[in-house]
Structure 1
Amino acid sequence: MSLGTVTPILRMFDETLTRAFYVDFLGFKVDWEHRFEGNFPLYTQVSKDGCLLHLSGHFGDCAPGAAIRIATSDVDAYQAELIAKEYKHARPGVAEVPWGGREMTIIDPSGNRLTFFNREPEISA
C-alpha cells in the first residue's frame, strides 16, 4: 500500500482574475475546464511542473482562504521570475523562516495563501 500525491481544491470567485493570477502571473497552464452547463460555475485543473491544483467556483467544494505549501527547487529564482512580470496585485518577497529554509507567500484573488518553499535535498541511503 502506498499513498499518492495530494491535489488541493481551492475556491475561486472571479474566473478572469483567477486565470490571470495562476496562468499569466504564476506560470501555470490550464489542463482542462468543466462546467455542468453553460452558465454553471467553472471547475478546472491548472499545473506547473509536478504541481497540480484544482480551482472551483462551486459553493461547498471548499472554503475560501485556504493555505497550501508548494515545494520548489529554487524559491529565489521563482521569486525573481515573478517580480520581472510586474504583476500589479503582488510583489512577493522571500524570507528566512525560523524553522529553517526560505519561503515566499502569495495570496490569490480569492484569499487563498500559497507558500512556496525550497524543497529539502533528497538524502541517499
Structure 2
Amino acid sequence: MLVEINPKIPMRNKTATREFYLNKLGFKELGNVDYDGYLMVQKDHIQIHFFEFKELDPKENYGQVYIRTDDIETLYRSFLDRELNIHPAGHLQLKPWGQKEFSMLDHDNNLLTFGQG
C-alpha cells in the first residue's frame, strides 16, 4: 500500500536551500546525518528531499511540488507577514477546479504551490 510521497527536487547550494526552507518557510531538517549533496526537510506531515545539482540553470528548472494544507489563508498570511515573495501570478485565489491556491518560487526556481479544497 502507498502511504506517502516525498518529492525530490534539485538544489544548487545546500546551505542556501537549508537557509530558505528552515529559516524562511519554517521547515526542520530531517535526520541527524549530514549527507553530502542531499538534504531532507520536514514540516508537519510532509517531507521534501533535495539533491545537489550544481550546474542547474534556474531559468531552465521546472521542479514543482504541490503541497496540500488545511488552513491556506493562515499559511498565506504568515508568508506575507514574513515578507516572502509570492509568485507574481500565484497570489491566493480560488481556482476554477475548486481549489484555493497560491505559489512561490525558491531560489532554484522550484515552484511550490500550496492548495486547499
Range into which the TM-score falls when normalised by the shorter chain: 0.7 to 0.9
1:38 counterpart residue number: none
User: Could you list the runs of 5+ residues in structure 1 that have no partner in the other structure?
Assistant: 36-41, 121-125
Match of 1:75 in 2: 72
> Once the 2 structures are TM-superposed, how far is the Cα of residue 58 of structure 1 from its aligned partner?
4.3
Residue identity opposite 1:80 in structure 2: R
| TM-score of the pair, normalised by structure 2 | 0.81
Give the share of equivalent positions with the same residue, in percent. Answer: 28
Does residue 4 of structure 1 match 2:22?
no
Aligned residue runs from structure 1 range 97-112, under 5 A: 97-112=95-110
Asked if the contact 1:65–1:110 (Cα under 8 Å) also holds between the matched residues in 2, the reply is no
Counterparts of 1:104 and 1:84, CA distance in 2? 15
Indicate conservation of the 8 Å contact 2:30/2:40, yes or no: yes
Distance apart, 1:109 and its partner CA: 1.0
Aligned-residue RMSD, C-alpha: 1.9
Number of residue pairs matched by the alignment: 107
Are 1:114 and 2:112 counterparts? yes
Structure-2 residue corresponding to 1:18: 17
Q: Tell me, in whole angstroms, the C-alpha distance in 2 between the residues paired with 1:100 and 1:76.
A: 15
Structure 2: where are the runs of 5+ without partners? 55-59
Instruction: Report how far residue 49 of structure 1 moved.
Output: 0.3
Q: State whether residues 69 and 114 of structure 1, in contact with CA within 8 Å, keep that contact through their aligned partners in structure 2.
A: yes
